[in-house]
A and B are shown apart, each in its own frame.
Chain A
């Protein structure tokens, strides 16, 4: 019998978020399209945000709303922080896409390596 370290139990927020983060990392390293780079960075960000949301949370915890039992309450601090992180994520994506559009209009390519050659040849 082979001992498999991953079972159904290991599909939880923490592992999923780490997997998401590294999928995003793979995307950034392998994709040459700027648009895909922006998406991949976004996936990494989402992975990190999801990871923080799973900190100090167990399946039995209750939302930190009202005067619930302090011991069963999920940790409210990461949740409050992640609202900020999500907002930042949205804004940086918007800025990146805006810049990407003007870059594309200027140089007519969305490929990192092609862009280097076009800038060099000017």
Chain B
């Protein structure tokens, strides 16, 4: 019998003990550890798949009273994805100068905490874990302490603490109504609540905090600051955008499932998701900093995931969950390659980077594979998840998916311009074999997940969805038409639009963001008030 807490305590113990080791030795220990952790998480996935859900009580408390760890398919898949991503990112950063012991300590503890969020069944436990995560991430954002990193880190820390106080009050209100903090027990008691309206208040407080964590419209203003900080190491941006923003979505799924007996949240979050996707694309098109383009693109992809999750169709739901993994993979890869390209060119301005494919060939090819993934090219992983999400919609609603796809393509045409042309300068830095091979491996993983999508989805989520339609010729035609239409629109429309500069220069200050959080809370509450 496998003890689940090993997956949580392992990273924290290794990080703490390794902090006192000399740096080369710590690196060897970490390599061994990351490989072992990935193997362990894979083994857990196999067990959960064959023997069903594992439920364990931490500290030997009676069920419901203590903290329970529960490995179900969704949680275990996320744990496995976390360990794989961490293994990739560790290999990527082997030769980086910034990965000293203190950095590794913070970075690896976040791994343990994230895994714990995916396994924990106690909502207060999750509150504590997220607070720990917030502090550590803000320190990592400020790691190089230059330019605006300190401002971005402060903003990230305070807006998240602010949102988590909503979460804490939500827990209080929920405990007052239900009397339990355990997910399973909550789910059972929600069905017995006499008046579902008594759940409006706790749920809207908690969902506000979760929506801020997941960066939904209009609460995403912190995300570009955190994910796109110019000086943050690229593996930090990669783990933030690839993994940690998904913690918010994961919590949303959990809360939604628990309260599904009492109230249906679909319509509200469907609209919010579509809005998030569109506004993320618009803001991405206005940016010039490559990391900011990627950060806003994360916002729009989160919107797409929310659209699929709340469509009420099984295919679209699982497509969204598959898209969480896919987006984690290619967005992490895009951030890693953006970091490598920006380092080579010494700038992050998209207008000053040209001819990257000749100057840094391996990294650029990997980045192009990731772009193919994110715009949903047939045979890539993004195509499968987008196809599944799209299959949940018909008629007028389907057009929103087309708009999002077209917008994403537009954003990445703008982004891909930097690979062509002539830089006029030969390569200045030495190629790093670890950077090259890791980015390449992740790029190939995008194709493999696309081709082997059906068995992967079937294995991970135990659902049988038909993805064959994604390989049909009309999908190729649709894709080619989208790209073919997006190129002229970009060159003759977007590139010349002057109002984009005005949008780019608009910045929200902290009190404005806090006001938006309050507005979101009020609108969610009133929507629930009139529908439930």
Contact = CB atoms under 8 A, between A and B. Distances in A.
A100 to B, nearest CB: 7
Contact of B507 (A92, A99, A120): A120
B162 A41 contact: yes
Interface string A82-122: 00110010011001100110110011000011011001101
A38 B124 CA distance: 23
Given A99-B154, A107-B151, A92 B511 contact: no
Contact of A99 (B153, B169, B181, B505): B153
A45 B128 contact: no
Nearest to A113: B509
Given A92-B161, A112-B509, A106 B150 contact: yes
A12 to B, nearest CB: 13
B168 A99 contact: no
Interface residues of B, number: 38
B514 A29 contact: yes
Interface of B: 65, 124, 127-128, 131, 134-135, 138, 142, 145, 147-148, 150-151, 153-154, 157-158, 161-162, 165, 168-169, 171-173, 175-176, 179, 181, 505, 507, 509-511, 514-515, 518
A70 B138 CA distance: 44
B169 A48 contact: yes
A19 to B, nearest CB: 12
Given A29-B514, A41-B165, A119-B151, A56 B179 contact: yes
Contacts of A84: 124, 128
Point out which of A84, A99, A106, A113 has the most chain B C-beta atoms below 10 A from its C-beta: A99
B110 to A, nearest CB: 15
A102 B150 contact: yes
Contacts of B138: 95, 99
Given A37-B510, A77-B65, A92-B135, 5 more contacts: A37-B511, A48-B169, A99-B150, A99-B154, A115-B151
A22 to B, nearest CB: 10
A49 interface: yes
B176 A49 contact: no
A44 B158 CA distance: 12
Question: Which of B128, B154, B509 has the most chain A CB within a 10 Å cutoff?
Answer: B154
Contacts of A41: 158, 161-162, 165
Given A28-B514, A92-B135, A52 B171 contact: yes
Contact of B135 (A21, A77, A95): A95
Interface residues on A, range: 35 or more
Contacts of A113: 509
Contacts of B127: 85
Contact of B169 (A32, A47, A56): A47
Nearest to A24: B165
Interface pairs A-B: 3 shortest CB-CB: A48-B169, A52-B172, A48-B168
Interface in A1-33: 21, 24-25, 28-32
Interface of A: 21, 24-25, 28-32, 34, 37-38, 41, 44-45, 47-49, 51-52, 55-56, 77-78, 81, 84-85, 88, 91-92, 95-96, 99-100, 102-103, 106-107, 112-113, 115-116, 119-120, 122
Given A81-B124, A96-B158, A44 B179 contact: no
A32 B509 contact: yes
Contacts of A32: 509, 511
Contacts of A45: 161, 165, 168
B150 A28 contact: no
B165 A51 contact: no
A103 B151 contact: yes
B128 A29 contact: no
A95 to B, nearest CB: 5
A58 B75 CA distance: 39
Contacts of A24: 165
Contacts of A116: 507, 509
Pick the most buried of B65, B150, B171: most chain A CB atoms within 10 A of its CB. Answer: B150
B453 to A, nearest CB: 41
Nearest to B519: A29
A29 B507 contact: no
A91 B154 CA distance: 15
A91 B65 CA distance: 26
Contact of B518 (A25, A56, A100): A25
Contact of A51 (B65, B147, B169, B510): B169
Of the candidates A29, A45, A77, the one having the most CB atoms from chain B within 10 angstroms of its own CB is A29
A121 B175 CA distance: 48
A115 B158 CA distance: 15
A113 to B, nearest CB: 5
Given A92-B135, A103-B151, A38 B158 contact: yes
B509 to A, nearest CB: 4
Contact of A29 (B135, B171, B505, B515): B515
B131 A112 contact: no
B515 A21 contact: no
Nearest to A45: B165
A51 B175 CA distance: 10
Contacts of A115: 151
A112 B158 CA distance: 12
24 contacts: A28-B510, A31-B511, A37-B158, A38-B158, A41-B161, A41-B165, A44-B162, A47-B169, A48-B172, A49-B168, A52-B171, A55-B176, A77-B65, A77-B181, A88-B131, A91-B135, A92-B135, A96-B154, A99-B138, A106-B150, A115-B151, A116-B509, A119-B148, A122-B147
Contacts of A47: 165, 169
Q: Which residue, of B127, B148, B507, has the highest number of chain A Cβ atoms within 10 A?
A: B148
